[in-house]
Chains A and B, each alone.
Chain A
Amino acid sequence: MTRTWIVPVVAALALFALPAVLTPYTQDLVVKIAIYAVFALSLELLVGVTGLVSLGHAAFLGIGAYVTVLAAGDSGGSVATVAPLAVLAAAGYALFVGALSLRTKGVYFIMVTLAFAQMAYFVFHDTKLAGGSDGLFLYAKPALGALNLDDKRHLYYTVIVTLVATYALLALLMRARFGHALAGIRVNEQRMRAAGFATFGYKLAAFVIAGAIAGLAGFLLAIKDGAVNPELLSWHESGAVLLMLILGGIGSLRGAVIGAIAFTLLKELFQLESLLGPVASHWQMTLGFTIIAFVALLPKGLIGVRSRFSGAAHG
């Protein structure tokens, strides 16, 4: 059992040491990847552990981001108030959406989560609540004592710490009774209900937790970019995070992180004119074909590549 901890710990240590060797552009890139890894991990709880395919998860990312900007206001505010607000707002919407959509199953559930994400999208895109289709800018970043998120180094370490903490939290959840119950629901919900579990409550709890973590990722994203935009809630964003999961491999936390890395790097790669020439401007097609190839040939994702060779099961 101790072997499974070695790799994540080594990776975390490496991440802490990286700033010494990175250029500003690549440091930005690592921060972006880490934030998306947190986002992907939150969805992993829903899709991989509980078996709930949500096509509207970006709504919680976006709400967390928007609330961050709105709560920070002109002076930036304190991390101790802004971050919890962002997380609570996302969790609140997750409670609303979950309560309504968990009444449906399968294909309906997918469509309904998508539709609710669209609803949130339209609230930010059409109304005067926020900046409309242009989005909002974050003029001053929240601080907490000595922690100054305007400083790139501080932001970097904050994001890495959040990633490590999220990973650890989810790993613990999965090993606890709660996680086992969710896994049971994924495999056979009727049996779990027969065994006396209040499955609706468990599913809703998972949905809200996933939404809350996504909101936290949104908070970090707003601070990193200094700008938020309704497109953060679009279904393209929801599709992208699902893609990350399938790229990395559904069913493991590592898969979520690997998927986030792979997806972001692939996008950067496909858009590099210096490498791909004219094909670079049509990177969406390249991405599309890659996805199809992946789903068709490597349904278990990158994690599955190893087990294909070693034949070992992975948890």
Chain B
Amino acid sequence: MRLNLAPLAAAALVVTAFGAQAQATGPIKVGFMLPYTGTYASLGQMIESGFKLYVQEQGGKLGGREIQYFKVDDESEPSKGTDNVNKLIKRDQVDVLVGTVHSGVALAMAKAAKESNTLLIIPNAGADAITGPMCGANIVRSSFSNWQPAYAMGKVAADKGHKKAITITWNYAAGSESVKGFAEAFEKGGGKVVKELNLPFPGVEFQALLTEIAAQKPDAVYAFFAGGGAVKFVKDYAAAGLNKSIPLYGPGFLTDGTLEAQGPAAQGMFTTLHYADNLDTARNNAFRKSFALTYKSQADVYAVQGYDAAQILAAGVNAVKGDLSKRDAVTAAMHKVVVDSPRGKFTISAAGNPVQDIYLRQATGNNNEFRGVAVKALADPARGCKL
């Protein structure tokens, strides 16, 4: 046994030695938990770029302190979520967690953040529960709740006179919440969702379901997909000829960052989102220019969300001049801030979610162009939040 225990003991020692690196003062430790691989990899990259752009614009410091970054690839895998976030919280002992894209993973992050009372800023994941039953003072979102753009779309669809709709999405939290938000507004406006189709995440074999849609002949279809799935669905929808007879609607994720790949299949599609690429405001133009210069690529909504996450953190840190031990003042400032975002100014609700305008956009060329405001200053109902 001696022969076998020695190497194992050595391995255990190595793991612990390289793991813990506690720090008292000095740089603010920011832990990114984002998808750097898999179907959401490009989104993770955009978020990090946006965040770092803001810090760079502040001279690399927030509240007078430097920023030290830690990264964990969450692979958009909810099963590894708890393990991964604990690496940042327990092993690297970060001051602030920033993440993630996938709602299921974000739920694990929120739970861990609540249990360890770590600051958490969510730059994308829209899980309603995070600013609902799982809300906490230390958790703020810079993006949206799944309900928001979906509700706006439902209102738009009802206003356009559609009466019969079918929804289709992946079978996970983000998908079902989005569909619920759409149904709520659509049915309030006099329509009815006759069928809810879904398939397991991240499957892209839509053929059987497209056939079902064709058979049911609804007035409209609402789809929630993102990343690679969004590209495939819009293309398959057009390939089946359905886009000529049944208009396809969705939240902005259906067409954000995917227009080039989708090509003619997506042209003319209406979507709702809290951002539009060609929003002609001074703030947005300056942001997009700065982003393009730094990263040699066009910013998208995910970059904006990352950028605004940094703004929210800055508001909190500046309010206490860098002393993060004054936690209550930090979170209070983070909730009171009026964020001067490229998407337009927005505030944070008591539950931690942005209260913002949702825009109607139309896919034209390679851009989702602004067509008007679908709903002004829409606040997520934060059902179940006790804050």
Whether A and B touch directly in their complex, counting CB atoms under 8 A apart, is answered as: yes
Measured CB to CB, the residues of A under 8 A from B are 7, 23-26, 28-29, 125-126, 131-135, 137, 225-227, 229-232, 258, 261-262, 265-266, 268-269, 272, 274-275, 281, 302-303, 305-306, 309
Distance (whole angstroms) from the CB of B318 to the closest CB of chain A: 32
Chain A's nearest CB lies how many Å from the CB of B330?
24
Question: A131 vs B171: C-alpha distance in the bound complex, in angstroms?
Answer: 10
- Asked if A231 and B79 make an inter-chain contact with CB atoms under 8 angstroms apart, the answer reads yes
The count of A-to-B residue pairs whose CB atoms sit within 8 angstroms is: 86
In the complex where A133-B200, A226-B111, A227-B111 touch, is A126 in contact with B3 (Cβ < 8 A)?
no
- Whether A272 and B15, one on each chain, are in contact in the complex, defined by CB atoms closer than 8 angstroms, is yes
Main secondary structure of the interface of A (DSSP, over half): helix
Residues of B at the A interface (CB closer than 8 Å) are 1, 3-4, 8, 11-12, 14-16, 18-20, 73, 77-83, 86, 90-91, 103-104, 107-108, 111, 171-173, 200-201
Q: Which of B16, B108, B172, B173 contacts A227, CB < 8 Å?
A: B108
Rounded to whole Å, the gap between the CB of B11 and the closest CB of chain A is 5
**Pair B91/A25 contact, Cβ less than 8 Å:** yes
* Bound complex: CA A134 to CA B202 (Å): 12
Q: Which residues of B contact A268 (CB under 8 A)?
A: 15
Instruction: Kindly identify which residue among A125, A227, A265 contacts B15, using a CB–CB cutoff of 8 Å.
Output: A265
User: What is the CA–CA distance of A135 and B111 in the complex, to the nearest angstrom?
Assistant: 13
Please give the distance in Å from A166's CB to the nearest CB on chain B.
20
What is the minimal beta-carbon distance from B21 to any residue of chain A, in angstroms? 9
Alpha-carbon gap, A227 to B85, bound state (A): 13
Q: A26-B12, A275-B18 are in contact. List 8 more A-B contacts (CB 8 A).
A: A24-B90, A25-B20, A25-B90, A28-B90, A126-B171, A132-B173, A227-B81, A306-B4
Closest residue of A by beta carbon distance from B80: A231
Rounded to whole Å, the gap between the CB of A218 and the closest CB of chain B is 14
Q: Which 5 A-B pairs have the closest CB atoms?
A: A134-B104, A231-B79, A229-B79, A274-B18, A265-B11
| B82 and A227 form a contact (CB under 8 A) | yes
A246 to chain B, nearest CB (A): 15
Contact check, B79 vs A230: say whether CB atoms are below 8 A apart: yes
Residue of B nearest to A261 (CB): B8
Find chain B residues with CB under 8 A from A231 CB. 77-80
Shortest Cβ distance from residue A131 to the other chain B in the assembled complex, whole angstroms: 8
Given A133-B200, A227-B111: A269 touches B15 (CB 8 Å cut-off): yes
- Which chain B residue has the least Cβ–Cβ distance from A281? B73
* Contact status A135-B200, CB under 8 Å: no
Give the residues in chain A near B73, CB-CB below 8 Å: 281
Please name all residues of chain A whose beta carbon is closer than 8 Å to the beta carbon of B111 when the two chains form the complex: 137, 226-227
Given contacts A132-B171, A226-B111, contact A23 B20 (CB under 8 A): yes
